[in-house]
Structure 1
């Protein structure tokens, strides 16, 4: 089951690190970085059902126009 409760000790620090990782990249490079990051984290999770739940949640938020998570 996907954990959608806040789970980062310092979420702002992760967000800042994510922004730093994208510094200086063009649009294609930033999309490639995001794709690699998703695949790395998906491999870490390793459970297809959890990943499918995350995809559905993310897709629902995009379709509904809400960029936040539960």
Structure 2
């Protein structure tokens, strides 16, 4: 079983990546931006393809949303 990599992985390009992520949603309303992020998540989940690794990511995302769970 692979373990989720939580080490920052963009190096000096982290700010540039974040800017690209925001720019990719430019001009989208709130609902369209949520839809876009959902499609992106599904594309990336398919690319990863490791359900155990994805479960770890889901749990981590849930924990960040609900830190007292």
Runs of 4+ in 1 over 3 A off after TM superposition: none
Aligned residues: 65
| Bigger radius of gyration among the two | 2
State how 1:4-43 maps to structure 2 within 5 Å: 4-9=6-11, 10-43=13-46
State how 1:57-68 maps to structure 2 within 5 Å: 57-64=60-67
Q: What TM-score, normalized to structure 1?
A: 0.87
Q: What TM-score, normalized to structure 2?
A: 0.88
- Cα distance in structure 2, aligned partners of 1:62 and 1:5: 20
Instruction: Give a deviation string over 1:12-58, Cα, whole Å, max 9, x none.
Output: 11100011011110111000100011001101110000000000001
- Cα distance in structure 2, aligned partners of 1:61 and 1:30: 20
Q: Pairwise CA RMSD of aligned residues?
A: 1.2
How far the C-alpha of 1:64 sits from its partner, in A, is 1.5
